Amino acid sequence: MIGLTAIEIEAGGFRVGPVDLELRDGEYGVLLGPSGAGKSLVLEAVAGVRRVVAGTIRVDGVDVTALTPEKRHVGLVFQDGLLFPHLSVAGNVAYGLRRAGVAGRAARAAEVERLADAVGATALLKRRPATLSGGERQRVAVARALAARPRALLLDEPLSAVDAEAREGLQELLRRVSREQGLSVLHVTHDRAEASALADTCAVLVGGRLLQTGPPREILMSPADEAVARFVGARNVLHGVRDASDARLVRLPGGVALRVARTLTPGPADLVVRPEDVRLWRARPPAAAAGRDDVAVFPGTVVGLSLQGGFVLVRVETPDALDVLIPARAADALGLTLGAAVDVGVPAAAVHVLPMA
Amino acid sequence: MIRFRPSLFWALCAVAGALLLAFVLLPAASMIVGAGAGLLGEALRQDDVRRSLWLTVSAAVIATVIGFVVGVPLAYVLARKEFPGKRLVEGVIDLPIVFPHTAAGVALLTVWGRDGVVGRVLAPLGITFTETVAGIVLAMLFVSLPFLVDTAREAFVMVDPRYEHVARTLGSSPGGAFVRVTFPQAWRGVLAGAVLMWGRGISEFGAVVILAYNPKVISVLTYERFEGFGLRAAQPPAVLIVIVAFVVFVGLRTLLLPRRRSRKDAA
């Protein structure tokens, strides 16, 4: 279990916090945020290599705020594995075994074998770190951290230096380790997809401030504010005003009116629409296809097209700019080109209303 | 903007490098070749030259060992910690480099001489630094310590501190992390600093001659012979120390310091 209560960190004039976060045994937490948000500082504070200026840190129910790293019982894995280059893989894994109370050379060798097997690194034991791939290094780094019998695992961008193929295997390994050993994991990343794939609980840190904590789906679908919305890729953050007579209608500056799923109080309204929730037609759809009143349909012009994996991000000027994400095949079928006239539909259920500050 | 063709550019670099090498090697080579094998044999047969060579080498080794014991911890602190006055400390450590060495000898004398601040206290205990081996070691230590501290500090800076963070979470104390993780990665740089320090020590003249003219280290012996008997008499000790320094320097660097990896190798 990891418990952070109002921790604050200061580094070179940059202040992080207050950060509150509770992770149960076996819970996988992801601290998500852009570069420079202060994520690694939080991780270093939990590991005990950086002091907090306020707040308390608990590991396995014990207040470790004032303890040195070696007394905190946390495992630490960095982006590039940081295997000790002067030791073999076996030497790296064995490093923390004495502290873990594994006495005797034979017992330590057996434990190294067991840990290597658990992370799929048995064949690597005699190799030097410099000869390993990024994914192999990370597997060994996880085994090394587990050797010291930690009560929590801290991972600093552990998948960033790993190719896509190895990343899937490592994600599966990390989830399995957390689940089988009942370890709380605090994983720091800037990668939204990684966070969605791994996290039970996700905390979004932007500019040193913890903006939202919750299950990743909740953060994706219901961001707490504009900064979170933009960071989790909502793209369409729209500022409008509630219609004078219809409490479920928001008018945008360009004239487009969007339906929302709940009634709003009069005044300004900030809306978030994920690009994959927006529908696109080359000709105005029949009312049935549009879903009648629940989908606001309005015309626009394609002003941008960019391929993103198997999808195409289409920028449509309505004149309020909207980003729409559709499968590449669908874009081909629609024959989308720059300047093409399209109709755009935004379902009321896809419109998230941001809480007003 | 002047644009060089790559081949011309590298050719110019090679010419510049060759000129520099010649500038460094020519005096030493000329002296050794001019002296010939006969002179070298003669030098080795002379008792005072042999004694002086042993004294020079051993005093420099002792100075280097002391420098290692006190300098490496300081280098590590300078590499890892930020504290008020750190730049001042670094400047103070480098001070002997910019001191004229005879001035360094005079300064040392005011502290460690019989009437000096520390010398006065130690003299009744039989510990003196004028005209003694201890004085020679002291002078060598003073002028050469910056070479070890600066090189070792850079070697420690090159080791990512996050290795130590990992080691700490694996149960190591700060000292344990240093011994088991940091030093094994930095030792080649530290050794390079120690070799530099030793080399600077054996070549020291100015500070040594002020603090301890006798017993004579090889630089003092060479100077005395040159002044008293001319170039021919000064050559044997000079040739000997140049050969010893060359063999130790090149030998240690070749055997212990691995070839630096090129970018291509690293990729």
Q: Are A292 and A347 in contact (CB under 8 A)?
A: no
Q: CA dihedral in degrees (A87, A88, A89, A95; nearest 10)?
A: -40
The residue to which tokens 């002291």 are assigned: B138
pLDDT tens digits for A204-258?
999 999 999 999 999 988 888 888 888 888 888 888 888 888 888 888 888 888 8
Residue B185 near chain A (CB below 8 Å): yes
B167 with A49: Cβ contact below 8 A:
no
Helix/strand/coil percent split, chain B, to 5: 80, 0, 20
Query: Could you tell me if A251 and A218 lie in one domain?
Result: no
pLDDT at A289: 59
Band (B97; pLDDT cuts 50, 70, 90): confident
Token pair of A96 as six digits: 């923390």
The verdict on A170 and A252 lying in the same domain is no
Q: What is the CATH number of the domain that holds A211?
A: 3.40.50.300
Same domain for A273 and A343, yes or no, is yes
pLDDT at residue A136, as a whole number = 92
Q: What is the pLDDT of residue A258?
A: 86
| Predicted pLDDT at B4 | 59
ipTM of the complex, rounded to two decimals: 0.84
pLDDT > 60? residue B264: no
* Helix (H) or strand (E) segment spanning residue A9: strand A2-11
Residue the block writes with tokens 């300064």: B107
A114 shares its domain with A100: yes
CATH of the domain at A297: 2.40.50.100
Read off the pLDDT of each residue in B77-99 and give the average, rounded to a whole number.
92
Nearest beta carbon to residue B168 from set A49, A78, A154: A49
The per-residue b/e assignment along A283-319, b for 16 or more CB within 10 angstroms, e otherwise, is eebeeeebbeeebbbbebebeeeeeeeebbbbbbebe
Examine the domain organization and report whether A288 and A341 are in the same domain: yes
Q: Are residues A194 and A105 part of one domain?
A: yes
Tell me the average pLDDT across B80-86: 93
Last residue of a domain, one of A213, A230, A247: A230
| Domain stop point among A204, A230, A256 | A230
Percent of chain B topping pLDDT 70: 93
pLDDT at A100: 82
Report which of B93, B214, B189, B70 is spatially closest to residue B143, judged by C-alpha positions: B93
> Do both A222 and A284 map to the same domain?
no
Distance from CA of A350 to the nearest CA of B (A): 44
pLDDT above 70: residue B184: yes
Across A171-188, average pLDDT: 91
Closest CA to B139 of B205, B61, B197, B184: B205
Q: Strands A2-11 and A14-23: what pairing?
A: antiparallel
Beta strands across the sheet bearing A152-156: A74-77, A152-156, A184-189, A28-32, A201-206, A209-214
Do A185 and A85 have their domain in common? Answer: yes
The CA distance from A164 to A311, in Å, is: 18
Domain tally for chain A? 2
Distance CA A354, CA A20 (A): 22
Q: How are beta strands A54-59 and A341-347 bridged, if at all?
A: unpaired
Among chain A residues, CA nearest to B181: A84
Asked if the model's pLDDT at residue A131 lies above 70, the reply is yes
Q: Domain range spanning residue A247?
A: 234-353
Average of per-residue pLDDT across A112-137: 92
Q: A50 to chain B: nearest residue by CA?
A: B165
Residue at which a domain ends, from A230, A264, A279: A230
Same domain, A80 and A113: yes
Please tell me which of the candidates A75, A84, A98 has its beta carbon nearest to residue B169: A75
Instruction: Tell me the range of A348-352, B99-103, B170-174, B230-234 where mean pLDDT is highest.
Output: B170-174
* pLDDT, average across residues A124-129: 94
Res B258 pLDDT > 80:
no
SS3 (DSSP) at A201 = strand
In angstroms, the Cα distances linking B241 to A138, B41, B202, B246, B256 are 52, 13, 8, 8, 22
Residue A292 scores a pLDDT above 80:
no
Is the pLDDT reported for residue B265 higher than 80? Answer: no
Binding-face residues of A in 30-59 toward B, CB within 8 A = 44, 47-49
Counting one residue from chain A and one from chain B, the pairs whose CB atoms sit within 8 A come to: 59
Res. A133: pLDDT tops 70:
yes
Average pLDDT taken over every residue of chain B:
87
The closest of A221, A150, A163 to A192, measured between CA atoms, is A221
Could you give the C-alpha distances from A185 to A67, A165, A341, in angstroms and in order?
A: 19, 22, 49
Q: Which domains does chain B have, with CATH numbers?
A: 41-257 (1.10.3720.10)
Distance CA A291, CA B43 (A): 105
**What's the longest Cα–Cα distance across chain A?**
80
Return the residue in A50, A86, A154 with the most chain B beta carbons within 10 A, the one to mutate for interface testing: A86
Angstrom CA distances, B163 to A153, B167, B180, stand at 16, 6, 10
Nearest residue in A to B170, CA atom: A96
What is residue B262's predicted lDDT score, i.e. its pLDDT? 43
- Which among B89, B101, B260 has a CA at the least distance from the CA of B189? B260
CA distances from A56 to A2, A18, A25, A206, A285 (A): 11, 11, 18, 21, 57
Q: Which residues of B touch A69 (CB under 8 A)?
A: 165, 168-169
Bond preceding residue A158 cis, omega within 30 of 0: no
Look at residue B91 and tell me whether its pLDDT is greater than 60. Answer: yes
A53-67, A297-311, B100-114, B245-259: least confident range: B245-259
Task: Give the pLDDT of residue B239.
Answer: 84
A98 Cα to chain B: minimum distance (Å) = 8
The pLDDT value recorded for residue A10 is: 94
Q: Are residues A77 and A197 in the same domain?
A: yes
Residues A154 and A286 in one domain: no
* pLDDT over 70 at A341, yes or no: yes
Strands A184-189 and A152-156: parallel
| DSSP assignment letter at B55 | H
- Tell me: the pLDDT tens digits for A190-219? 998 899 889 999 999 999 999 999 999 999
A265 and A279 both lie in a single domain? yes
Q: Which helix (H) or strand (E) holds B36?
A: helix B6-45
pLDDT reading at A43 higher than 90? yes
Q: In 10 A of CB B103, how many CB atoms?
A: 12
B160 in reach of chain A (CB within 8 A): yes
Q: Determine the pLDDT at residue A253.
A: 86
CA B121 from centroid of its chain's CA atoms: 29
Q: pLDDT for B199-248, tens place per residue?
A: 899 989 889 999 888 899 999 999 999 999 888 888 888 888 888 888 88
Strands (E), A170-320: 184-189, 201-206, 209-214, 236-242, 249-251, 257-259, 268-273, 279-281, 295-308, 311-317
Q: Which helix (H) or strand (E) holds B250?
A: helix B231-256
Average pLDDT over all residues of chain A? 89
Tokens of A239: 């500022």
- Per DSSP bridges, beta strands A28-32 and A201-206 are parallel
Report DSSP letters for A44-92, one per residue. Answer: HHHHTSS--SEEEEEETTEE-TTS-GGGT-EEEE-TT----TTS-HHHH
Cβ burial of A66 (10 Å; 0-12, 13-18, 19+) is exposed
- Per CB-CB distance under 8 Å, the chain A contacts of B165 are 44, 47, 49, 69, 76
Contacts of B169 in chain A (CB under 8 A): 47-48, 69-70, 72, 74-76, 145, 148, 150, 154
Q: Rounded to 5 degrees, what are φ and ψ at B24? A: -80, -45
Of residues A74, A86, A98, nearest to B169 (C-beta) = A74
**Whether the predicted pLDDT of B45 surpasses 60:** yes
Identify the band that residue A288 occupies on the pLDDT scale cut at 50, 70 and 90.
low
Amino acid at B139: A
CA B200 to CA B214: how far, in whole Å?
19
Helix (H) or strand (E) holding B3: none
Confirm if A8 and A53 have CB atoms less than 8 A apart: yes
Nearest CB to A148: which of B162, B165, B170? B170
Six token digits for residue A178: 């957390």
- Which among B168, B170, B180, B190 is the top mutation candidate for probing chain A, defined by the most A β-carbons within 10 Å of its own β-carbon? B170
Rounded Cα distance between A291 and A232, Å, is 27
What DSSP character marks residue A342?
Answer: E
Q: Is A96 on the interface with B (CB under 8 A)?
A: yes
